[in-house]
């Protein structure tokens, strides 16, 4: 089998009402679909959840030039070929050896995102070629995977307690675990939001906090002790972006709550150092942002060996396959509680995962089991 064509489909749906995390405004839903066609008639698709969308699409097309006629089942070779374009190589200056010239340093995050979308599409092809779902390719047999609902995004003018009712609503829909966005308000207000949420969901539902990197070590230790009485499962992305594994170790040694981290790391090499530090109980990676499903698998195996639970970030329809295959080494695949937050995923796929009873249910279709509504894809195309 050979790759014949790679096409990108940038999509965007503006939010009826923008929301914020502690760090940034989310003006809408942005997904770049990567389609890889082969001479065997098999087509695979992957997604990229990273931008700027135009820059990422340009890089996918640049990579595509050297992938035509390559075997799509050689996903590790293709991964290495593309990744090698982020560093110098002997004879590689100017692309004179027929491969992409070493990319400018500023394009590294977009390159890792482009690799992500291509790599996920290759796994979809692999499953379709083997006529089995990806979770079975990985050795998994569970079609029911634990999930949790993320919510509590910030809305301008909303009262402090709006997050509590929202997350209690997810629990009422069957979720056994929920995750609250925190970190945007004063520490006192955030402690109040956590208390109100715990009171609303009751004592039985697991509660995690997604902080989006708002604190230094000392402030985070204070915060951790203040919210510990509300039975918190993890603190996610607790420290400023520039703080390193050694800082996480200082926090972990003083925090009564375990730490989760990793969704913004570009490669397995920095995640390795966080795992080696011993500071994490949960590791999060995102196949759609950086380096794809192949790199996520490498991280998952390393985490399993080191007793760190895997809890991949978002993109449930891909990551649930991986969680299925890791048994007790996996905690859960993440879901976004409010479907209005992901209109593209809802409209793009006519088959796929099903949320029921706090779990994600996988189908037995080959690849990632996703059938695409191309009319919808055209209707939300981002031509900007």
User: Which region among 68-76, 119-127, 206-214, 342-350 touches Mg ion (by CB under 5 A)?
Assistant: 206-214
CA angle 261, 264, 270 (to 5 degrees): 75
Q: Is the dihedral of CA 284, 286, 290, 292 positive or negative?
A: positive
User: Which region among 12-20, 59-67, 207-215, 248-256 touches Mg ion (by CB under 5 A)?
Assistant: 207-215
DSSP per-residue letters across 121-188:
HHHHHHHHHHTSBHHHHTT---SEEEEEEEE--B-TT--TTHHHHHHHHHHHTT-SEEEEE-SSS-HH
User: Which region among 188-196, 202-210, 269-277, 326-334 touches Mg ion (by CB under 5 A)?
Assistant: 202-210
Nearer to Mg ion (CB atom), residue 23 or residue 378: 23
Nearer to Mg ion (CB atom), residue 135 or residue 153: 153
Nearer to Mg ion (CB atom), residue 166 or residue 210: 210
At closest approach, how far in Å is the CB of 176 from Mg ion?
19
At closest approach, how far in Å is the CB of 313 from Mg ion?
6
**In sequence order, which residues have a C-beta less than 8 Å from that of residue 307 and are 6 or more positions away?**
none
Helices 245-254 and 268-277 pack at an angle, to 10 degrees, of 30
Please identify which residue in 47, 190, 210, 265 interacts with Mg ion, judged by CB under 5 A: 210
User: Which region among 198-206, 208-216, 294-302, 354-362 touches Mg ion (by CB under 5 A)?
Assistant: 208-216
User: Which region among 163-171, 182-190, 203-211, 301-309 touches Mg ion (by CB under 5 A)?
Assistant: 203-211
The span from the first CA to the last CA of the chain, in angstroms, equals 34
At closest approach, how far in Å is the CB of 101 from Mg ion?
34
Backbone angles phi, psi at 65, to 5 degrees: -60, -30
Number of shown-chain residues binding Mg ion (CB under 5 A): 1
**What phi-psi label fits residue 69: left (phi over 0), alpha (psi between -120 and 50 degrees) or beta?**
left
Backbone angles phi, psi at 333, to 5 degrees: -100, 135
Nearer to Mg ion (CB atom), residue 83 or residue 148: 148
User: Which region among 99-107, 156-164, 210-218, 241-249 touches Mg ion (by CB under 5 A)?
Assistant: 210-218
286 binds Mg ion (CB under 5 A): no
Q: Which residue is nearest to Mg ion (CB)?
A: 210
At closest approach, how far in Å is the CB of 300 from Mg ion?
17
Say if strands 354-356 and 177-181 run parallel, antiparallel, or are unpaired: unpaired
Show the site string, 154-193: x = touches Mg ion by CB under 5 A, - = not.
----------------------------------------
Of 3, 22, 45, 26, nearest in space to 317 by CA? 45
Nearer to Mg ion (CB atom), residue 35 or residue 210: 210
303-342: contacts with Mg ion (CB under 5 A): none
At closest approach, how far in Å is the CB of 263 from Mg ion?
5
What are the tokens at 131? 């006529």
At closest approach, how far in Å is the CB of 381 from Mg ion?
28
Strand order in the sheet with 43-48: 3-20, 25-38, 43-48
Nearer to Mg ion (CB atom), residue 190 or residue 210: 210
At closest approach, how far in Å is the CB of 210 from Mg ion?
4
CA atoms within 13 A on the CB side of 43: 12
Count of other CB atoms within 10 angstroms of residue 160: 12
- Which residues of the chain form contacts with Mg ion (CB under 5 A)? 210
């Amino acid at each position: 089998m050979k790759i014949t064509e790679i096409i990108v489909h940038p999509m965007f749906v503006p939010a009826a009402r923008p929301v914020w995390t502690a760090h940034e405004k989310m003006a809408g839903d942005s997904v770049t679909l990567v389609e890889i066609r082969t001479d065997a008639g098999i087509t695979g698709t992957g997604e990229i959840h990273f931008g700027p969308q135009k820059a990422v699409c340009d890089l996918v097309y640049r990579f595509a030039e050297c992938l035509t006629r390559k075997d799509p089942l050689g996903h590790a070779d293709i991964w290495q070929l593309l990744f090698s374009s982020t560093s110098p190589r002997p004879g590689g200056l100017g692309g004179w050896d027929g491969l992409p010239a070493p990319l400018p340093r500023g394009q590294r995050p977009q390159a890792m995102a482009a690799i992500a979308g291509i790599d996920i599409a290759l796994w979809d092809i692999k499953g379709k070629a083997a006529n089995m779902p990806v979770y079975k390719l990985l050795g998994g047999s569970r079609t029911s995977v634990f999930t949790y609902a993320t919510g509590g995004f910030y809305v301008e003018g909303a009262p402090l307690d709006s997050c509590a009712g929202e997350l209690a609503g997810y629990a009422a829909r069957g979720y056994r675990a929920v995750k609250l966005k925190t970190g945007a308000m004063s520490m006192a207000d955030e402690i109040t939001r956590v208390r109100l949420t715990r009171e609303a969901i009751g004592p039985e539902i697991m509660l995690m906090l997604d902080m989006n990197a708002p604190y230094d070590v000392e402030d985070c230790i204070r915060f951790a002790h203040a919210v510990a009485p509300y039975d918190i499962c993890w603190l996610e992305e607790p420290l400023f972006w520039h703080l390193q594994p050694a800082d996480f170790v200082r926090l972990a040694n003083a925090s009564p709550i375990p730490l989760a981290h990793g969704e913004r790391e570009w490669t397995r090499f920095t995640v390795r150092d966080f795992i080696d530090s011993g500071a994490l109980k949960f590791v999060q990676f995102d196949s759609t942002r950086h380096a794809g499903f192949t790199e996520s698998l490498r991280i998952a195996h390393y985490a399993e060996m080191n007793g760190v639970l895997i809890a991949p970030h978002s993109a449930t329809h891909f990551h649930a396959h991986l969680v299925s295959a890791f048994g007790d080494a996996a905690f859960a695949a993440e879901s976004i509680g409010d479907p209005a937050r992901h209109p593209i995923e809802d409209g793009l796929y006519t088959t796929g995962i099903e949320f029921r009873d706090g779990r994600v249910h996988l189908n037995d279709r080959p690849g990632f089991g996703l059938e695409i509504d191309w009319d919808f894809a055209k209707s939300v195309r981002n031509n900007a």
